[in-house]
Structure 1
Amino acid sequence: CLHGLSVAMLELPGALVHMLSGIFEQLVKIYSAAQLSVHLLEFVSSISREPRLYTGFHTRDYRVLFAVAINYIRFHNNQRRRESSLMGTVSVNDAALDQYVLVMAYQVIDAYYLSLSSTLKAEILDHLIVGLLQTNYSRNSLDEVNEVCLDMVLQNYNRSSEEILTTSEVAVKEEFGPVVERSWIQHNSIVTIRAQKEGPLAQIMIRSSSGTTSRVVDLPAEVARKFTERIEQPLGSMPTSPQSELSKPTFGSLPRSISRGRSISRSRRLHSTAAPGAGSSYSEADTLPLDSIARLLRGELVQHGNAIARSLRIFDSTPTVDAHKVSVAYVGPGQTTEREILLNQQGSPAYWNFLHGLGKIKRLARMEGFSAGLDTSGQDTDGRYTIGWRDLIANLVFHVGTLMPAQENRQEQIIRKKAHMGNDYVHIIFNESGRDYDLNTISSHFNFVQIIVTPVDGLVASHEETSSRLHGELPEQGAHEVQLYKVRTQINPEIPFIGPAAEPKVLTLTALPAFVRSIAIHAVIFSQVYTTCKSSETGGEAEYVSLWHARLQIIKRIR
């Protein structure tokens, strides 16, 4: 059923949009077996990449949606407590599925929260924070995954989704000439001030797990402005109650009721995460883990040295969105060998239109941030262009075989292309060979998941037909029927990943790229989780660490 809805949301979005609230009301009641959890959370995650489906959601709809994710986090931690009391090892596959469910639950929270307007964020803030605190595994301190999620919630309280999308993935230091630089640790953030030695400008950087903010100020002018505001502020305009400050939290700060360590339920009546809409109050124990972030002390000066400088460089180079890479290969009529496929520089019109639907064309020489290892020096070693896609929490770059140079007499080009594609966990195969595609056609140690796209009738459509269908145009009277494409996943036998195309799904070219892209993103995430668990020496019990989590760990090491 969920797999069918994954197709329907792209093929019939107008019909499904009116049903989503009811669907989520049912999903919030389900949180049991890991196998079912995977399908459910992948479905909810896929919807997050289609804003047209949820732009009409109201506060209650979002509370239900967050409850779906929070229930799975709670279920995961409860199961973890039960397993910790039993002797025995956990299989790699079971550990990977459990970890994947947890990762996907937090990603659902991240994706939807960052898409909200400031008004909606204010209306669900307390509800979301209390829900996260109730899921905490430890009752004495915050779990690091919850610390990361709460940092995301608070740091982005006043930021729009457009602002988040245009923010650089990595920190950039302004060219000020000679500067004096000082850094302070304040809880789980690093505040750095870089002031010109012979000028009025200063850059203020705040590094946290979920992002880095930067602002350039004219120090004398800023001091004068603040002083003027202070002496001109009417006495009656000063806040007189916690509620007046709570309505407008400052950037990166906790609401007053939280920062004082009081139970949130005493200052505002909240709704239960597990049963949205039902009134409930919470005891001090429900919010006990918040004490570890509530006691914000004055910043502690960081003593700069080589080790600290190295840690800050690593931190600044760690992106603030998940970076994924996926290969795309075209298999032409009659082709069966790796060499034939790697030598392809052309594809059918349907293939090129499919590529355009996967993402935007990126000029490699002008590409900033994550490039999936492709040459961006301007020498065009890996071609002039690639395809990239970005949303609020993920950056996806494709290794497109037909966009990389490969000549019959240039073996080094074929080797370089194979090196890029062979190191990807996930391959998208646009198969117009007329034959079944073998899992090991392009040999690789990382060949985990292949998403195979095949014309249903085996015919290669003309350029005019595919172009009109991609843009949703209706065929003229007497024209051929709409070309349909079959999507199925081939999976390495060791991998338990399933996804919505384990059984073939049939789509039109209009819906095809988004469906395949969503499967690819989820497959990459699961492959990373699986690799982490498999490499563990403790029987598959390793914890997958996201980029935000890794940034938090760097801050704690500096502290």
Structure 2
Amino acid sequence: MSVLVGNSDFRPLPTNPTAKITGVHESLLQECEKDIIWYREHFVGKAHHNYLAVDSPRGPLAISLIHDASASTFKVLVRSTQGSERLTVAAQSVPNPWWRKAMGLLPTNESVMQTVSSNIPLQCLKHCKETSKSNLPNELLAMEERQVIRSYKFGLTYLGSGQATEEEMFSNKHEHTSQGFKQFLNFLGETIELKGWKGYRAGLDTQSNNTGTHSVYTKWQGYEVMFHVATMLPYAEKDRQQLERKRHVGNDIVVIVYQDTDTPYQLSTNTSHQNHIIAVVQPCGEGYKLCLAPKNGVPPFSPEMPEPPIFFKDAVSRDFFFHKLINGERACYKAPSFAPKISRTRQVLLTELATKFIK
């Protein structure tokens, strides 16, 4: 199977002869979840310091600092619009005047912050103490929790024999798809009835069947995944472009293209600015061949693609496939199209928090 890149912004991912199809052996935690765990483990319930800034050269900030006497270290968590930094420094490395040492005093918090990072604007920070009416540590945790993504939506399209373009792809009716495609749907999840559906709906109508009657859904490793299956979305006889289908799949970051034959899919025909990873799946013996093509600007993401890039219909292969797609979407958040939006969200949350607690 080959993928024609042409003048497209997409590039096929390289494969690695030493890589293997494996289950999930590494943490699936998002970075903000790691920050939450670190703050809970080392700060919450212990005497520590919190500093806030509404406006600084780095934008709004929330900084937590604690002395870990058992490890003779200081730990600092710096939350900014660009993400969070978990910093640790040995207590003996922090400058401390002789007179403070003689009095048994620790280095000042300012000295600690200057030591762990030269990029902390001390002059803009305000030390915020907890009051009986507020609980800043819990609100810091709540802010991070709001940024944890626990549900994903992936586009899923079908390319029949001899088809190679996006327009042909969106024109397929579900009853005309192959048995292999329907088996692939079973591999991905369960076919659910949309009307009355109570789980994650990914923007699909669950009341009036306006977006079709059924879709494919699964729970995986604690996450909910809903697929926008193009052939299950409404088909309009007089609409050559099938805009209703494109409205959903075109807004998905990751799109799976199931391809029945060797006819290369022309990536250059993809017109969506939102789609950032195209995953082309083709039946291969008892399994599937996979080619992933991220858009330029998407950083590398694990797990590595094996050579040959073939996975089977077992649980381990399914874990590999979902792991790759979910990590791929997370990598896309760092691409130029999404990083500013993520940063703006954090800016709003940090500004609201700092404004509330700085009096």
TM range (shorter): 0.5 to 0.7
Cα deviation for residue 387 of structure 1 reads: 2.5
Cα deviation for residue 320 of structure 1 reads: 5.8
Assess, with a 3 A threshold, how the Cα gap between structure 1 residues 504 and 262 changes in structure 2: closer, same or farther.
Answer: closer
Q: Partner residue of 1:366?
A: 196
Does 2:292 match 1:516?
no
Does 2:209 match 1:380?
yes
Does 2:179 match 1:349?
yes
> What is the TM-score of this pair, normalised by structure 2?
0.59
Q: Partner residue of 1:403?
A: 232
Does 2:292 match 1:489?
yes
Amino acid at match of 1:521: I
Are the aligned partners of 1:265 and 1:281 in contact in 2 as well (CA < 8 Å)?
A: no
- Correspondence 1:206-245 to 2 at 5 A: none
Distance in 2, Cα, partners of 1:487 & 1:525: 19
- Correspondence 1:8-407 to 2 at 5 A: 8-10=21-23, 44-45=26-27, 104-107=30-33, 128-129=41-42, 141=51, 263-266=67-70, 295-299=129-133, 321-344=149-172, 345-346=174-175, 347-368=177-198, 370-376=200-206, 378-390=207-219, 394-407=223-236
Partner SS state of residue 440, structure 1 = helix
Q: Partner residue of 1:445?
A: 273
Partner SS state of residue 247, structure 2 = helix
Partner SS state of residue 262, structure 2 = coil
Partner SS state of residue 451, structure 1 = strand
Distance in 2, Cα, partners of 1:7 & 1:412: 42
Distance in 2, Cα, partners of 1:143 & 1:508: 52
Cα deviation for residue 282 of structure 1 reads: 5.2
Distance in 2, Cα, partners of 1:388 & 1:285: 54
Instruction: Choose which of 260, 268, 271 in structure 2 pairs with 1:432.
Output: 260
Q: Partner residue of 1:215?
A: none
Distance in 2, Cα, partners of 1:5 & 1:359: 29
Distance in 2, Cα, partners of 1:358 & 1:438: 24
Cα deviation for residue 322 of structure 1 reads: 4.1
Q: Partner residue of 1:33?
A: none
Partner SS state of residue 406, structure 1 = coil
Q: Partner residue of 1:420?
A: 248
Q: Partner residue of 1:208?
A: none
Cα deviation for residue 498 of structure 1 reads: 5.6
Assess, with a 3 A threshold, how the Cα gap between structure 1 residues 285 and 372 changes in structure 2: closer, same or farther.
Answer: farther
Distance in 2, Cα, partners of 1:390 & 1:532: 28
Are the aligned partners of 1:426 and 1:448 in contact in 2 as well (CA < 8 Å)?
A: yes
Are the aligned partners of 1:484 and 1:509 in contact in 2 as well (CA < 8 Å)?
A: yes
Are the aligned partners of 1:406 and 1:413 in contact in 2 as well (CA < 8 Å)?
A: no
Q: Partner residue of 1:184?
A: none
> What is the TM-score of this pair, normalised by structure 1?
0.40
Distance in 2, Cα, partners of 1:506 & 1:340: 26
Assess, with a 3 A threshold, how the Cα gap between structure 1 residues 370 and 6 changes in structure 2: closer, same or farther.
Answer: farther
Distance in 1, Cα, partners of 2:292 & 2:233: 25
Distance in 2, Cα, partners of 1:524 & 1:432: 25
Cα deviation for residue 524 of structure 1 reads: 1.8
Instruction: Choose which of 305, 314, 318 in structure 2 pairs with 1:501.
Output: 305
Are the aligned partners of 2:21 and 2:311 in contact in 1 as well (CA < 8 Å)?
A: no
**Higher-helix-fraction structure:** 1
Are the aligned partners of 2:157 and 2:231 in contact in 1 as well (CA < 8 Å)?
A: yes
1:71-118 alpha-carbon deviations (Å, 9 max, x no partner)? xxxxxxxxxxxxxxxxxxxxxxxxxxxxxxxxx5445666xx6xxxxx
Amino acid at match of 2:42: I
Amino acid at match of 2:22: M
1:111-153 alpha-carbon deviations (Å, 9 max, x no partner)? xx6xxxxxxxxxx998x527xxxxxxxx983799xxxxxxxxx
What 5-or-longer segments of structure 2 have no aligned partner?
A: 1-14, 44-48, 55-61, 76-88, 93-105, 114-125, 136-142
Amino acid at match of 2:160: G
Are the aligned partners of 2:150 and 2:224 in contact in 1 as well (CA < 8 Å)?
A: yes
Matched residue pairs, number? 278
When the two chains are superposed, the root-mean-square deviation of aligned CA atoms in Å is 4.7
Amino acid at match of 2:292: T
1:453-508 alpha-carbon deviations (Å, 9 max, x no partner)? 11235xxxxxxxxxxxxxxxxxxxxxxxxx13221212334544465339652111
Assess, with a 3 A threshold, how the Cα gap between structure 1 residues 265 and 293 changes in structure 2: closer, same or farther.
Answer: farther
Q: Partner residue of 1:530?
A: 335
**Higher-strand-fraction structure:** 2
Assess, with a 3 A threshold, how the Cα gap between structure 1 residues 389 and 294 changes in structure 2: closer, same or farther.
Answer: farther
Higher relative contact order (Cα pairs below 8 Å, separated by 6+ residues): 2
Distance in 2, Cα, partners of 1:484 & 1:414: 31
Are the aligned partners of 2:287 and 2:313 in contact in 1 as well (CA < 8 Å)?
A: yes
